[in-house]
Amino acid sequence: MIRNRSIMLFLAGAMLGLAIGPGNAFAGEAVEGTAKADKLEQCVEPTPVMRRNHFEFIKHQRDLTVHQGIRGSKHSLAGCIDCHARKDASGKAVPVNAQGQFCAGCHEYVAASLDCFSCHSAVPGEK
């Protein structure tokens, strides 16, 4: 448990570093602070809950969406991407699974495979 917690702390630190580290080499052309999430206080759940449980949330939601057609609830992968994708200098969205970006940053670090985007779009949807 303690070990688990320290990993989480470390992760949180790493994420923080990614988010505010000036001129992060990974971020490519993405411009810091251009994601909608950067202007918000909190995600759809408190940050520690999201860090720990985001996959459970979207996995549960995916079944509701595909089988029951529910698309208007608070957890959704499209919602994650919409809010967390940064923009590059020209205002174009940068994929969340690009190296160092919101999803890939952590997933690469912990070597957890990120399969969503072999089918799902990694940039905010056309509205």
The residues binding other proteins (CB under 8 A) are: 62-73, 78, 81, 118-121, 124-126
Q: Tell the smallest beta-carbon distance from residue 118 to other proteins (Å).
A: 4
Cβ atoms of 47 and 84 within 8 Å: the answer is no
Q: Strand, coil or helix: what is 28?
A: coil
Q: Tell the smallest beta-carbon distance from residue 78 to other proteins (Å).
A: 5
Cβ atoms of 77 and 107 within 8 Å: the answer is no
* C-beta closer to other proteins: residue 95 or 105: 95
Q: Tell the smallest beta-carbon distance from residue 79 to other proteins (Å).
A: 10
Q: Tell the smallest beta-carbon distance from residue 45 to other proteins (Å).
A: 18
Neighbour count for residue 53 (Cβ, 10 Å): 14
CA-based nearest residue to 121, from 88, 85, 69: 85
* C-beta closer to other proteins: residue 18 or 61: 61
* C-beta closer to other proteins: residue 23 or 69: 69
* C-beta closer to other proteins: residue 52 or 60: 60
- 101 Cβ contact partners less than 8 Å away, ≥ 6 residues apart: 26, 27, 30, 85, 86, 94, 95
